């Protein structure tokens, strides 16, 4: 079957099998390997992308279901070579170790900050509760997201 969607602002059309998962479409067909594929059970959250502006686990969505919709991956966070504040926060506050969960964390964090520009630690922890990180203990991830919230707010007021 043929599927057409907008991925990171660009329209793409490809022939696919109807059973192809969105995560595999992004990684294997479009070579957007920033989206990771982890658990095969939708538990880990490494594969989070946005579908029409909402975070989804791309291992639970068929590529055909994304047809006619807009998909944003971690590759779409930086704009004109400028890192998103969430990406910068992960650098500044050491929000990653092995980096495997990072793409999903970044996409989830960006969605949170778009809805709530000044989340509390508890709200951040709730937002990322669908993501598994086996390295950091989440403390540096939470600090990274808070850093992004504070610094994005200071960019707006500057």
Domains of the chain listed by start with CATH number: 2-76 (3.10.20.30), 85-157 (1.10.150.120)
Res 114 pLDDT > 70: yes
Higher pLDDT pick, 156 / 103: 103
Task: Please state the pTM of the whole predicted model.
Answer: 0.92
Q: For residue 77, what are the contacts with CB-CB under 8 A and spacing of at least 6?
A: 83, 84, 86, 87, 106, 107, 110
pLDDT digits (tens, 9 = 90+) for 44-93: 889 999 999 999 999 999 999 999 999 999 999 999 999 999 999 999 99
Report the C-alpha gap between 39 and 57 in whole angstroms: 11
Report the C-alpha gap between 58 and 49 in whole angstroms: 6
On average, the pLDDT of the chain sits at: 93
At 14 the pLDDT is 98
């Amino acid at each position: 079957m043929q599927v057409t969607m907008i991925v990171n602002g660009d329209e793409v059309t490809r022939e696919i099998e109807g059973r192809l998962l969105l995560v595999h479409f992004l990684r294997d067909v479009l070579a957007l390997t920033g989206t990771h594929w982890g658990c095969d059970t939708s538990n880990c959250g490494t594969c989070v992308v946005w579908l029409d502006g909402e975070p989804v686990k791309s291992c639970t969505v068929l590529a055909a279901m994304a047809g006619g919709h807009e998909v944003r991956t971690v590759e779409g966070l930086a704009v004109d070579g400028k890192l998103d504040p969430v990406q910068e926060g992960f650098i500044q506050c050491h929000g990653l170790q092995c980096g495997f969960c990072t793409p999903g964390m970044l996409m989830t964090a960006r969605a949170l900050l778009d809805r709530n520009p000044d989340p509390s630690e508890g709200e951040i922890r709730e937002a990322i509760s669908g993501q598994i990180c086996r390295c950091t203990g989440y403390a540096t991830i939470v600090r990274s997201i808070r850093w992004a919230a504070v610094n994005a707010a200071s960019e707006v007021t500057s």
